[in-house]
Structure 1
Amino acid sequence: MVDMDESPISERIPEGFAGQRMLVVPRAAVDRALRHPVTGKLLVTDAGYFPHAARHGRSRPEGAAEHLLLVCTGGAGWCEIGGARLPVSRGGVVLLPAGRAHAYGAAEDDPWTLWWLHFTGADATGLVRAAHEAAGGPVTHLRDPAPVASLVSQVIDALDAGMTSAALIRGSGAAWHALAHVVATGRRNPGSQLSPLERAVEHLRAAAPKRTSVAALASMVGLSGSQLSALFREHLGVSPLQYQVQLRMARARELLDGTDLPVAAIARETGFDDPMYFSRQFNQHHGLTPSAYRQRPQGT
């Protein structure tokens, strides 16, 4: 199915774009990796980045051997599967199951920028199915595609550093995180309204480390405090205030791992006026003081 203002798929090109990156794992390495206890669960076989991919397109009447993840971070395009053509705009994510006939291509007037993966493994089909169930189909939408694109970039960097077992494991970890992000945050389309819980969580993430009272948060999303607290406990397993503490603790871990800031400065950065109270809270959540956490052996 081709629109009159688009070139036929036969005239599209699969790759060769200025500034692109593309890595392909040798098939012999794929076979070995699929026998590994980690990469056998989820393995990236190909990954790439196609900026402003004019005339890009692929048609696979028999489908692909692996599942595909396409993330559009700019421009627009389309995906055709199951007899339907679906538009893809910035923030659009396409998850194509292995073995399903499909085609896709960049819009002619505003070609997309794509980050993409081919992946396989024992858990791959389940992740694709979960994403489809959450989005109601193979195309979903992210309010912000940057986190997933960053994770695909980490996969590319891992493979580019050398396709060793360790590199493939790092790539698998980043890919798993990317797919989990799509499952957890993808929506049916760009116009889908966020639920009250999603709006509350977005506000807390944007406002962190500043605290927001339950009453104020509930009024923002049109619920009572008890209704909002019930939603948090049902879907996230914690109260709104506990969730805020989790966000602050996550930021504290990032600063402890990635900076040389003193503990007192990290306390201030994460919204704690009293460094001693911050240390007690951190110890309560992690079983270690901030200083002990920073000095722990890496990888634990």
Structure 2
Amino acid sequence: MIKRKDGFSGERALVLPASIIHTMENNPLANALHITDIGYYPRAEHHFRKRETPISQYVFIYCVEGRGWFSVNDERYEIKSNQCFILPANVPHSYGADDTDPWTIYWIHFKGDLAEYYALRLLTPIDIKPTIYSRINGRLNLFEEIYHTLELGYSKENLLYSCSAFHHFLGTICYLQEYRNATVNDISNDLVDAAIHFMKENIGKKLSISEIAEHTGYSVSHFSTIFNHRTGHSPVNYFNLLKIQHACYLIDCTDIKINQVCHKIGIEDCYYFSRLFSKIMGMSPSKYRKHKKG
């Protein structure tokens, strides 16, 4: 079996310097919970990591697509799409992507006085499945905020904001139902609204029209007719509009490279992404980034 620790197309990763971690460990706010490493691996084929010598950080992994596994304390767990888990600190472990359907993961290494209390809730895999009340895309946007804040530099304000946002990020998972209930009154049970919400929650994936229709509980033909009548677009075209809308957000609000943006919206072919973006926005992604707005 091929095993690769890193080097994935579209990947992003930040490893905070030891001096910065030391600074956070000596700050009473940051020491409660702080990030040491953070990243994103799309379709991480042959991803594998084995640590026989334990590390002092907890390792959070959120699988949004594909499959993988992890092993700790002689127990092996299979991981599928829309699941997450935390590996305990100071314990040998290993993990990796499935050979045939490699995972796409968001990952964070973290420490702090409160780290153990968050980790205890996630030592075994938990499901974060898209539903009419889920807020998956909001959670992933929060991850991007944390990443982008740290990417901007290690000022005291940036570090403390990233720590505060990370509390919220873990809270959206540890208190999943409460996170969903917080905006439950803003979500309609209407068929079209439910379908659009489902699309947004799966913006980083490929969805077939049958998968979207199944989520609403209607046949493909009946669902498509209603959706077209209400929106003026086919479900597939509307999903592409949402993908490009999110791509614009990533281009406007982050420093993600153009060839990484396509992976974030579930398009593996960068050339197809550029053609689709240009068709919808009237300019290429790179020109859009330079275009003055506001």
Root mean square deviation of aligned Cα: 2.6
Q: CA deviation at 1:148?
A: 3.3
CA distance in 2, matches of 1:73, 1:198: 18
Secondary structure in 2 matching 1:33: helix
Cross-structure match for 1:119: 110
Give CA deviations for 1:246-270 in whole Å, capped at 9, x if unaligned.
Answer: xxxxxxxxxxxxxxxxxxxxxxxxx
Contact 1:159 1:168 in 2 (8 A): yes
* Counterparts of 1:102 and 1:146, CA distance in 2: 29
Counterparts of 1:150 and 1:113, CA distance in 2: 16
In the TM superposition, residue 182 of structure 1 has moved relative to its aligned partner by: 1.4
Q: Does 1:206 align with 2:187?
A: yes
Query: Take 1:23 and 1:200, find their aligned partners in 2: how far apart are those partners?
Result: 33
Where does residue 152 of structure 2 map in the other structure?
161
Find the partner of 2:125 among 139, 148, 167: 139
Match of 2:85 among 91, 94, 116: 94
> Which residue identity does 1:153 align to in structure 2?
E
Give the C-alpha shift of residue 26 in structure 1.
Answer: 0.3
Residue 122 of structure 1 aligns to which amino acid in structure 2?
Answer: D
Shift of 1:80: 1.1
Aligned 8 A contact 2:55 2:89 in 1: yes
CA contact (8 A) 1:47 1:155 kept: no
1:289 aligned residue: none
Tell me the distance in 2 between the aligned counterparts of 1:81 and 1:111: 20
Quick one: which amino acid aligns to residue 206 of structure 1?
A: I
What's the offset of the Cα at 1:82? 1.8
Question: Separation in 1 of the partners of 2:153 and 2:51?
Answer: 29
Change (3 A) 1:90 1:63: same
What amino acid is aligned across from residue 38 of structure 2 in structure 1?
Answer: A
Residue equivalent to 1:152: 143
Counterpart of 1:240?
none
- Does 2:189 match 1:171? no
TM-score, reference length from structure 1: 0.57
* 1:118 partner letter: H
The question of whether the paired residues in 2 share the 8 Å contact of 1:22 and 1:46 is answered with yes
* Structure 1 runs (4+) greater than 6 angstroms displaced: 197-203
Distance of aligned partners of 1:204 and 1:143 in 2 relative to their CA distance in 1, 3 Å threshold: farther
Alpha-carbon contact 1:33-1:40 (below 8 Å) kept = yes
Q: How does 1:252-271 map to 2 (within 5 A)?
A: none
Structure 1 residue ranges without an equivalent (≥5): 1-6, 187-196, 209-300
Residue 73 of structure 1: how far off its partner (Å) = 1.0
**In 2, Cα distance between equivalents of 1:65 and 1:174:** 22
Per-residue Cα deviation, 1:84-136 (whole angstroms, up to 9, x for no partner): 2111111110111111211110111111111110111111111112x14xxxx
**Partner residue, 2:238:** none
Amino acid at match of 1:159: L
Instruction: For residue 167 of structure 2, give the secondary structure of its aligned residue in structure 1.
Output: helix
Q: CA deviation at 1:202?
A: 8.7
Please tell me the residue identity of whatever aligns with 1:142: I
- Identical-pair percentage: 26
Q: What secondary structure is seen at the aligned counterpart in 1 of 2:4?
A: coil
Instruction: Note if 1:103 corresponds to 2:94.
Output: yes
Any gaps of 5 or more consecutive residues in structure 2? 131-135, 190-294
SS at match of 1:118: strand
